[in-house]
Structure 1
Amino acid sequence: MQPLSSVVRMQNLSDLGSHHFDVLVIGGGVTGAGVALDAVARGYKVALVEKADFASGTSSKSTKLVHGGIRYLPSFDFALVQEGLVERGILLRNAPFLVHQVGFVLPIYRGDRHPVGLPFTTPGGVGIGLLLDAGLWTYDVMAGTQNGYHHRRLSRAQVMKLAPALKTEGLREGFMYYDGQTNDARLTITLLRTAAQHGATITNYTEVSSFLMDSGKVRAAYVRDTLNGQQILIHARHIVNATGVFAEQVETLTGIEAQVQIEPSKGVHLVLPREKLKLGDEVIVLPETEDKRILFIAPWQARAILGTTDTGAGDLDHPIADQQDIAYLLQYLNRYLAVQLTEDDIISVYAGYRPLLKSRSAHKSTAQLSRTHAVLQHPSGLVSIVGGKLTTYRRMAQDTVDVLSRRDEAAVTHPTQLMPLQGSAGWVVAKKALQERGSILGLSERSIEHLGRSYGTEANKLLDFIEKDASLGELLIADLPYVWAEVVYACRYEMAMTPYDVLARRTSIVLEDWQRGLGIVDEVAAMMAVEQQWSPAQQQAMVQAYRHAVQGELIMEAGYQERDENRSV
């Protein structure tokens, strides 16, 4: 097992400056993590740097679905859909503990005219069921044998049994189809740990400040450790820009006019009480919005996620859910629910930016822009991977490293197609033993399930901690499944450097807790101080930084200032 502690991070920083690398990946989101893993799996000597924490941007702000995208069928974007379905199948095989197939309930109402983004309507909505049936049949065929289950038509009564919170008025029938769900941040961390296990040198909080140029070509990158200010020069034969919405900014560091053209698209999600939505294990599809989108209500631990929007961007470093975003989501949620929800029901709000490729058409909205990706080779020698989506990260990485292999006139191989991610090998057999061991140690069923779904076979390491210290098996938050052993594990094995890293990305407590982790941050920081050898002043500074970050998010999110006082947050 490859540890990724603060000590390892410092050693990695030293190695970055003293070794020459074949590939330097800039960006520690899911795409950069995928590139690092693909490159190291092909035998390259790989380094990866991330300016903040791993998965701190878009890669922890998605709807957390792994899917082909049924909404792209009406626009006949079959290549994108099939690519997503193929990649979904690969992920289900390579990370079975982390990616799960789930049912999606798609209700059809009498008033719907453009469900799932249909570009046309029929008189009185007659025949829409047949059109959707044909579309979902196409979806099944494109998925092939990797699908596992085929869609089926649901009666009105079956829809209500599966999704009792939906309103009955106007409900005609529905469909059940199948796609995937994952924890996006943990997928990213798992990819990075797998890459490190294969020899990649990775560091977070390491920002590229400039490039060393020679005859117009990129030869090395100057980086700064944002935690202590240390400057390092990293030499690499290939430098890959996998920074998502920041790709243009990174390219301009070469001093050459940027080729990358990104159209950031803001996606906002609401986290809601699962019980209020009477949500089972299925995802509910809200089939139609005025702008011909669809929304998902997805189960997430003890909560539910509603999303998403698709609008223009503001400050790229600080995506904000404004009042209009929240109102939009509540409007369409309440359009289909029997019980109306208000802002008081919102546990948290989060926003992120999709790095979409800019269209040549000035009239396209971000919702109309394709989710395809592109690998760009710049005159400076820099390689940028742009566009795409969470589901297709592996294919994006593969296409990127293919470019490097061809540059080197090396054999083009695709090892990640059949590479289990860390925690996956032997999971099917290990799962039962993990459940039995967790039960003996006194963990609840939901905590055992959570540990398995988050860490796979690596969960046994957390049980080792609990076996030595039973207090580490206690819950961090009473109604959530997270245990204190995860704080220790995050510090020792996942390069968590701050309480926010632990509470927002190694776990999802910031999203799921009504108090956003503020009630436990002092204890979390105290435990981290032992692991990281912080002084009392450093520990207090970490607590204050966390409180400042969370309070800042609450203030920025429209409508939360008044609610803070009522919640004693």
Structure 2
Amino acid sequence: MQLLSSTTRSRNLSHLASEHFDVLVIGGGVTGAGVALDAAARGYSVALVEKNDFASGTSSKSTKLVHGGIRYLPNFDFALVHEALVERGLLLQNAPYLVTPVEFVLPIYKGDRHPVGMPFTTPGGVGLSLLLDIGLWMYDLMSGGRGVKFHRHLSREKVLNLAPALVQTNLKEGFTYYDAQTNDARLTMALIRTASRYGATITNYSEVTSFVKENGKVTGAIVRDRFSEEEYTVRARHIVNAAGVFSGLVEDLTGMDSQVSIEPSKGVHLVLRREDLQLGETAIVLPETEDKRILFVVPWGSRAVFGTTDTGRGDLDHPTVTQDDISYLLKYLNMYMNVNLSEQDIISTYAGYRPLVKPRNKNASTAKLSRSHVVLESTSGLVTITGGKLTTYRRMAQDTVDVLSRRDGMKPLHPTEALPLQGSAGWSSVRHSIEKRGQALGLSKHIIDHLGASYGTVAQEVLEIIEQDATLAAPLIDDLPYIKAEVVYACRYEMAMTPGDVLAHRTSIELEDKQRGLGVINEVAALMSKELGWSENQQEPLSAAYRDAIEFQLAAEKKR
């Protein structure tokens, strides 16, 4: 069993300073993790550093979808949709426990003029249903044989059978189509652990503060451990900037003119109870908004994720949900669904920034900026990967490492196309034994299903922890499936260093709990303290930091 513990982290920090790597990756989100895995799988020696925790930025703030992007079809962005649909198929193949198909219902109402964000309309809306049908056929076929199921036209009655809470007035008909969903933070963690298995040296809370340059080229980086404040010099032949919305700031450290041209776009989501929405296993597309966006209501365990917005930038380190964001989302939720929900019904909110590729027209709306990714080579030698979306992370990583391969005069190989992620190999055969083992330990079906969907075959490592200490089978929160053993597991195997790492990025307690984890912060910190050997002086500041972050977010939501 491979450990990614605090001890491993300390050893990796020392390793950063002692080895000359082939590739240094800056950024521990899904893109950086993907680059590290791709490079390591091709035989490169790889280091990855992340200034905060893995998946602490955009990679834990998505709509939790692995999809082609149906809303890009009306803008004729066929290349992006095709690429994303192919990648969706590869993820369903390579991470079957983490990425699962989901059915979407798209209702059509009388008076709709721009469903799914169509930039044009027809006189009186005549023929829009036919156009949507054609578009969905394109969506099905562009998957290149890696589709889930073909879309279907639905009568009004069948739409309501699948989504009974939809407003019935003026409902004409609808469609159903298929995409997939994932746990974005768990996907990032699976990539981190897989890259580590292939030999990558990985550390979190390790911030690049400057670059080492020789003859005008970057040959290394100064990395500061944010816990000890020690600095390490990391040498590498190739340095990849995969810092997402922070890519421009990283490139500025080279002292060269920035090649990065991105515009951060804030996406906001609400987390709600599924029963409040009468939501089954089928997701719902709210077809039309005044600003020509579409909104998704997606089942998420006992909760539902609803979003997203597409607005301009703010504090990149602290993306916040404002009162205007909440009002915008609730307006359309209550417009299309017979629920009449208010702010009091919201479990939690979250916001993240997408790194959109910026056009020359400075006045362009962020809703119209490209989600396509670009790989840029600076005159300093720094390689920057930016743009893209969660679904296309693997292709983004592949294109980035192809640049390094060509630099080295090597023919690019693409091993990640058929590389199972951590927890995926043998999942179909191991799944049943995990269920039996969990039942023998007295775990509920709800918890067993959660462990399988979060960890795959390595759920066995969580079960081993419970076998060693039966008290760790206890749930952390009564109506959620997370158990104490996962806190211990996160410390031993996933480099969790703070209570916030566990509550926000190893589990989804921060999103799914009405108290956002504040009610169990002391319990989580105590478990971590025992595992990591914290003193009382270390434990309290880490707990306080999480409380402060949540209270800052709640205060921002209350501002008008």
Structure 1 equivalent of residue 515 of structure 2: 515
Alignment deviations for residues 47-105 of structure 1 (CA, whole Å, 9 cap, x no partner): 00000000000000000100001111111111000000000000000000000011011
The 3-state SS of whatever aligns with 2:396 is helix
Structure 1 residue 273: deviation in Å? 1.2
The whole-number CA distance in structure 1 between the counterparts of 2:411 and 2:135 is 39
Structure 2 equivalent of residue 532 of structure 1: 532
The whole-number CA distance in structure 1 between the counterparts of 2:144 and 2:405 is 30
The whole-number CA distance in structure 1 between the counterparts of 2:145 and 2:373 is 25
Structure 1 equivalent of residue 132 of structure 2: 132
Q: 2:258 matched to 1:272?
A: no
Q: Which amino acid counterpart does residue 490 of structure 2 have in structure 1?
A: A
Contact 2:321 2:553 in 1 (8 A): no
Indicate the larger mover: 20-29 or 440-449: 440-449
Q: Which amino acid counterpart does residue 412 of structure 1 have in structure 2?
A: P
The whole-number CA distance in structure 2 between the counterparts of 1:409 and 1:84 is 29
Structure 2 equivalent of residue 180 of structure 1: 180
Contact 1:272 1:346 in 2 (8 A): yes
Structure 2 equivalent of residue 102 of structure 1: 102
Structure 1 equivalent of residue 121 of structure 2: 121
CA RMSD of aligned residues (A): 1.0
The whole-number CA distance in structure 2 between the counterparts of 1:355 and 1:503 is 25
Structure 1 residue 303: deviation in Å? 0.8
Indicate the larger mover: 356-365 or 367-376: 356-365
Contact 2:148 2:179 in 1 (8 A): no
> Where does the alignment leave 5 or more consecutive residues of structure 2 unmatched?
none
The whole-number CA distance in structure 2 between the counterparts of 1:334 and 1:120 is 25
- State the TM-score, normalizing by the size of structure 1: 0.97
Structure 1 equivalent of residue 162 of structure 2: 162
Q: Which amino acid counterpart does residue 417 of structure 1 have in structure 2?
A: E
The alignment-based identity, stated in percent, is 67
The 3-state SS of whatever aligns with 1:299 is strand
Alignment deviations for residues 290-321 of structure 1 (CA, whole Å, 9 cap, x no partner): 11110000111111111100010011111111
Structure 1 equivalent of residue 248 of structure 2: 248
Structure 1 equivalent of residue 487 of structure 2: 487
Matches within 5 A, 1:163-562: 163-558=163-558
Q: Which amino acid counterpart does residue 210 of structure 2 have in structure 1?
A: S
Contact 1:321 1:558 in 2 (8 A): no
- State the TM-score, normalizing by the size of structure 2: 0.99
> Where does the alignment leave 5 or more consecutive residues of structure 1 unmatched?
561-569
Alignment deviations for residues 476-529 of structure 1 (CA, whole Å, 9 cap, x no partner): 110011111100000000000000000000000001101111111111101100
Structure 1 residue 559: deviation in Å? 5.6
Contact 1:476 1:484 in 2 (8 A): yes
The whole-number CA distance in structure 2 between the counterparts of 1:380 and 1:512 is 44
Alignment deviations for residues 346-401 of structure 1 (CA, whole Å, 9 cap, x no partner): 11110000001111123320000110000000000000001000000000000000
Contact 1:24 1:46 in 2 (8 A): yes
Q: Which amino acid counterpart does residue 283 of structure 1 have in structure 2?
A: A
The 3-state SS of whatever aligns with 1:265 is strand
The whole-number CA distance in structure 1 between the counterparts of 2:27 and 2:116 is 33
Contact 2:5 2:493 in 1 (8 A): yes
The whole-number CA distance in structure 2 between the counterparts of 1:120 and 1:543 is 51
Q: Which amino acid counterpart does residue 35 of structure 1 have in structure 2?
A: V
The 3-state SS of whatever aligns with 1:74 is helix
Q: Residues 476 and 357 (structure 1 numbering): CA distance in 2 closer, same or farther, change over 3 Å?
A: same
Alignment deviations for residues 267-300 of structure 1 (CA, whole Å, 9 cap, x no partner): 0001111110011111110011111110000111
The 3-state SS of whatever aligns with 2:313 is coil
The 3-state SS of whatever aligns with 2:145 is helix
Runs of 4 or more, structure 1, over 4 Å off, are none
Alignment deviations for residues 451-496 of structure 1 (CA, whole Å, 9 cap, x no partner): 0000000001111111222221111110011111100000000000
The whole-number CA distance in structure 2 between the counterparts of 1:76 and 1:549 is 40
The whole-number CA distance in structure 1 between the counterparts of 2:280 and 2:200 is 40
